[in-house]
Structure 1
Amino acid sequence: MFNLISILIGLVTLVSGLIAFVPLLGWMNWLVIPIGIVGAAVGAMSSSSNAGRNLNLVLIVIFGLRLMLGGGIF
């Protein structure tokens, strides 16, 4: 059950993150990354499957890199 919730949170993160790729909307990454962290935490609670956790971790890395390239971090 937690894995399914984590995947749904990951899909919300993905859609929000794709919107944040639009120029001048990069500030949304500051909102998207914490949502992904919550999804990864929920996914870590499920011991049977790691798909939701892994999805959220990949999204955190991708959107974190986008934030770094846009000058939002460092």
Structure 2
Amino acid sequence: MGLISLLWGIVALLWMVLALVPVIGITNWLLIPFAAVGAVIAAIGILFTRREHRGRAKAGLILNGIVIVVAAIRLSMGGGLI
């Protein structure tokens, strides 16, 4: 679960960089639920793995959290459209 959430977070982060382009900013509406699913996978990975193996899940949770926050800020700056 940790590796999946980490890879999910990397994909979401790359998508977020693409969505920072002004005309493509509307894709943030799809990016936020995508990153939220990655955060849920990371949370499950943190809860159900041994303490020694939680690093990747924590990293995935942090990456997905950053993507959600930045995408929400970007949507609020563009009025939800741009």
Q: Which has the higher contact order (CA 8 A, sep 6+)?
A: 2
Question: Is the radius of gyration larger for structure 1 or structure 2?
Answer: 2
Per-residue CA shift, 1:4-51, capped at 9, x if unaligned? 101111111111111111121111101111110000000001122311
The answer for unaligned runs of 5 or more in structure 1 is none
TM-score by length of 1: 0.88
Q: What amino acid maps onto 1:39 in structure 2?
A: G
> Alignment length, in residue pairs?
72
Q: What amino acid maps onto 1:51 in structure 2?
A: A
Bigger helix fraction: 2
Q: Which residue of 2 aligns with 1:6?
A: 5
CA-based RMSD: 1.4
Further displaced range: 55-64 or 35-44: 55-64
TM-score by length of 2: 0.80
Q: Are 1:3 and 1:53, in contact at CA under 8 Å, matched by a contact in 2? A: no
Which of the residues 44, 56, 61 maps onto 2:69? 61
Q: Are 2:5 and 2:38, in contact at CA under 8 Å, matched by a contact in 1? A: yes
